[in-house]
Structure 1
Amino acid sequence: MSAPQQCRRISREEKTICSKSIKTQKLDQPVFAIYEDTFLDVVGKEPSITCVLERDYAFAHEAPVYIPEQDAVYFTSNVLVNKETKVKYTDVGKASRGKDGKWTYEKIATDVSMGNGAINYQSGILFCAQGHLADSEPGGLVVMDTNPPYATKTLIDGFHGRQFNSVNDIVTHTDGSIWFTDPTYGFQQDFRPKPVLPNLVYRFDPETADIRVVADGLGMPNGLCFSPDEKVVYITDTDHIHAGDFDPTRAGTIYAYDVVVRHGGQFLENRRVFAMTDATIPDGIKCDMQGNVYAGCADGVNVWSPGGKLIGKILVGSFCANFCFTKAGEIFVLSEEKAFVARIAQSTKGALLHYLGF
């Protein structure tokens, strides 16, 4: 079977011999790397990757959320520094697609404090606000309207009287609960106070205000998502990267946990390694409706089968912290100074948007 244009099969030598690895080769343009032929079913017969936005700073870093009725993606920048005050901040931006298919970008004036992960929530967007040093900006889970003046409301900003570290990424369950990670990156990057909690994963019920820890023992819990049937939760551990410190002997790993019910409460059991990336870390993570697992990595978006086999990559030539599914057969990829649209098979749909009714 021949591969479509903008696709490249990865040979056995490239998979197994270090000197032949695709990482040692310069890519002239973005490409779909085919590790297993099953990835061809994901990308379809006429896949393409196109850079749709570009700036001279890291405007496209995290929290991509697609709003179907606006045909727009909201996302946040990487950490920026005000040249005059030296205060650190992140932008919230909106990428809109016009009737001509071209994308435009605008900054949104909102008070989400150091926004990072985000998800569609009710009629708005639920952000992970990492917070600032001041007690008046503890961060937490913040809902933002998607229409001007982009008003916000905080759902929760701590664990029984203790402020979160720097809430990082988030996912919702169809039972209404909100699951999120809370590593110490904010303290390491000097915009949050000394932590008063371990690095943890939480489950929050907004109806009852029940907040509890569902996973610990991770170096840097980061991205998370549910399998299409919600029986498994995937959590990325980015312990490989601490602020200013890269250690390849630490975890750059996706862990899988079974979601079980005990005495009316959800628990995580049977932690196991699902995959370890060869591209530094797996950051933001999503599933499609077939159960394939996608993660933003140092070289783009890496894709594994439900059985943990690396089947392919969407290589954009630079780091991808996060991405989101938009319309059926489309992925919006953030890559710091650039944003890409990957068009794949129409049959490939994001599980999250499916469960949200889009």
Structure 2
Amino acid sequence: MALVGDSYEYVDKRFYDLTVPTADVERLFDGCRWAEGPVWFGDGGFLVWSDIPNRRMLRWLPDGGANGTVSVFRADSNHSNGNTRDREGRLVSCEHGGRRVTRTEPDGAITVIADTYKGRKLNSPNDVVVKSDGSIWFTDPTYGIMSDYEGHKAEPEQDGCYVFRVDPKSGKIEVVADDFVKPNGLAFSPDESKLYIADSGLSHDPEGPRHIRVFSVEKGRSLKKGKVFAEVSPGVPDGMRLDVEGNVWTSARDGVHCYDPRGNLLGKIRIPEMVANLTFGGPKRNRLFITATRSLYSVFVGVSGAQVP
């Protein structure tokens, strides 16, 4: 375990209550090429995350030692990126390689949830969340088809980079947002009345967006009244999660940024590598697991994560 000193930057005194100032950031593992998509399995007590260029998924299991034990969860992940779990506890993954969203069944079989829209291949699904009604919401930028590094280079077949919803009963795929440059991480508010979506368009366009937008969720299935929630700098917002108080914890170039429900920056957790994604885990969901470039980090915080299961 490598401790990362001077872990916090306090912009607002409220951030003290959301952190544990005596708890340092810990590096649990390094050796990835681009670590992404952490998901906590509370029933198994372990974390799974993606290493996109290496086409693998890794598993971290606390074993009482300094770092815990890391093993290969899936040797060929098809360039998986974002991961979550559905309301039955099944793993749901975005695969750059297959340009699809999949579900892993209890017996290990892979079910394709979405791979086309209007008869044309998706771009490269990036991140995914599951609402309490079982609907699946995911973003579809072109990162996985821009080169052979994180997927397979190809021309996009879609007319844009959309945010999609998959109906839990019919399986129908519909566009819920069509005005993003590069839609990326997304997360619901604790009561699911709002959906936060990152636009990381600045990553490949110096004039592109670097913000998080927030939408009202109407009738559980459509998005209205979208507005910019926060501009994230340095870097761009990628993956994000909310805590039980409605604060938004998002990735950035210099670490994890925390915003209150009004979009005010409360503080930062400094990470020495560019952060891609994060999730809350541990028995009390008060441990933040952070995927950042080559490494997996963690830090205990003063609040619990909102996501379930």
TM-score of the pair, normalised by structure 2? 0.91
Alpha-carbon separation, structure 1, partners of 2:57 and 2:291: 13
Partner of 2:68: 103
Matched, 1:195 2:156: yes
C-alpha deviation, 1:145, in angstroms: 5.0
The percent of aligned pairs where both chains have the same amino acid is: 28
Q: Which residue of 1 aligns with 2:41?
A: 67
Alpha-carbon shift at residue 146 of structure 1 (Å): 7.3
| Deviation digits for residues 206-239 of structure 1 (CA, Å, limit 9, x no counterpart) | 3211210000111100000011111110000000
In structure 2, the residue matched to 1:116 is 81
Letter in 2 for 1:316: I
Name the SS for the 1:186 alignment partner: helix
Gaps of 5+ in 2: none
Q: Distance in 2 between matches of 1:223 and 1:109?
A: 22
Match of 1:52 in 2: 28
The CA distance in 2 between the partners of 1:157 and 1:175, in whole Å, is: 21
Gaps of 5+ in 1: 1-5, 7-27, 81-89, 132-137
Equivalence for 1:234: 196
Aligned to 2:100: 140
For the residue of structure 1 that corresponds to 2:26, the secondary structure is strand
2:244 to 289, 301, 317: 289
2: distance between equivalents of 1:233 and 1:118?
Answer: 17
2:51–2:57 CA contact under 8 A, matched in 1? yes
Give the residue type in structure 1 aligned to 2:275.
C
- Per the TM alignment, residue 152 of structure 1 is displaced from its structure 2 partner at its CA by 2.1
Asked if 1:93 is matched to 2:58, the reply is yes
Task: State how 1:155-304 maps to structure 2 within 5 Å.
Answer: 155-190=113-148, 191-197=152-158, 198-242=160-204, 247=206, 249-261=207-219, 266-304=221-259
Tell me the SS of whatever aligns to 1:351: coil
Per the alignment, residue 18 of structure 1 pairs with none
Native 8 Å contact 1:224 1:235 kept in 2: yes
* Superposition deviation, residue 101 in structure 1: 5.8
CA RMSD of aligned residues (A): 1.9
User: CA offset at residue 291 of structure 1?
Assistant: 0.3
Task: State the alpha-carbon separation in 2 of the partners of residues 208 and 350 from structure 1.
Answer: 30
CA contact (8 A) 1:130 1:167 kept: yes
Deviating more after overlay: 268-277 vs 192-201: 192-201
* Structure 1 length-normalised TM: 0.79
Report if the CA contact (8 A) 1:333-1:341 is conserved. yes
- Whether the 8 Å contact between 1:228 and 1:288 is mirrored in structure 2 is yes
Bigger radius of gyration among the two: 1
Q: Give the equivalent residue in structure 2 for 1:314.
A: 269
CA apart distance, 1:166: 0.2
Q: Number of aligned pairs? A: 300
Higher helix share: 1
Aligned equivalents of 2:28, 2:106: Cα separation in 1 = 22
Amino acid at match of 1:162: R
